[in-house]
Amino acid sequence: MNQKSRLIKQADKLYSIHRIKQVGKCERCNKKYTLSLCHIITRGNKKLRYENRNTLVLCYICHTNFHSYPLIFTEFIKCLKGEETYKWLIRESNILKPLSKDFYKEIIEQYK
């Protein structure tokens, strides 16, 4: 694994732990266990990977349902995040740019 991959892995882990602690429950059903971080726009979009507006804390069941019923979840996301944030996410998801090692170092510093 190269240095950039290690930085991404570390940044992912710290950000995920931070968000789960910060939210503390499933944002759909309020359950407080089997929580994980869910990305609305895939983690493949590096710019939105550590963006709170692009993430949800979900329990295992809601996270599984999220991927099984994307249309239902689209409506849920619009209600939870607001129509404007939803539109912003769609706009941002179409702007792709490669990110430097320094970007990941900043994320690690911010959430450790």
Q: Which stretch binds Zn ion (CB under 5 A): 28-36, 38-46, 78-86, 93-101?
A: 28-36
- Taking CB under 5 A as the rule, does residue 62 contact Zn ion? yes
Cα–Cα dist 59/36, whole Å: 6
- In the list 6, 9, 17, 29, the residue contacting Zn ion (rule: CB under 5 A) is 29
The answer to whether residues 92 and 47 touch, using CB atoms and an 8 Å cutoff, is yes
- Taking CB under 5 A as the rule, does residue 63 contact Zn ion? no
> How many residues does this entry show for the chain?
112
- In the list 28, 38, 48, 89, the residue contacting Zn ion (rule: CB under 5 A) is 28
Closest approach of Zn ion to the CB of residue 19, in Å: 15
Element (H, E) at 37: strand 35-39
DSSP code, position 34 = S
- Taking CB under 5 A as the rule, does residue 56 contact Zn ion? no
- Taking CB under 5 A as the rule, does residue 35 contact Zn ion? no
Report strand pairing: 35-39 vs 55-59.
Answer: antiparallel
- Taking CB under 5 A as the rule, does residue 72 contact Zn ion? no
DSSP code, position 40 = S
Residues that bind Zn ion (CB under 5 A): 26, 28-29, 31, 59, 62
